A = this chain, B = another copy of it.
Amino acid sequence: MPNDEQMTIREMCDAFDVTPRTLRFYEAKELLSPVRIGSQRLYTRRERARLTIILRGKRFGFSLEDIRQVLNLYARDGSNLAQMERTWDLAQDRLRAMEQQRDELTLAIGDLKAELETGAGLIAAARNQNAAPPGK
């Protein structure tokens, strides 16, 4: 692993299916901090890992600010104990929220499945009712 550690912004965009604007925006929001060679950004393995977490968080409906908190948990530099404990508490709250969300999601999936079931029945019934409707 010599130099493919570093990826350009375009390589990142292709790899993660995002735009340069998005990566720069995340940097402005302090979610990413790529190395600079001159003015050019280079993304390391660390940034890739963080971006993975960011995109995953987004799929869960978390705001970028929420995600920034979670990222702080991963970025343990042991700098400040009080800060770490605060972050830990925050993460526990977030964990509980996620577990509740998962449970609700499980219920909603059940509801939707049942609804689809009767929906299928209604469609079948509708098919029988008008044998040859004017198709398009």
A residues within 8 Å of B by Cβ?
Answer: 56, 59-62, 70, 73-74, 76, 78, 81-82, 84-85, 87-88, 91-92, 94-95, 98-99, 101-102, 104-106, 108-109, 112-113, 115-116, 119-120, 122-123, 126-127, 130, 133, 136
Contacts and interface: CB of A to CB of B under 8 A. Distances in A.
Nearest to A120: B88
In the complex this chain forms, how many copies of it are found? 2
B76 A122 contact: yes
12 contacts: A60-B61, A61-B62, A73-B115, A73-B116, A76-B119, A76-B122, A88-B116, A88-B123, A91-B116, A98-B109, A98-B112, A102-B102
Given A73-B115, A116-B91, A119-B88, A108 B60 contact: yes
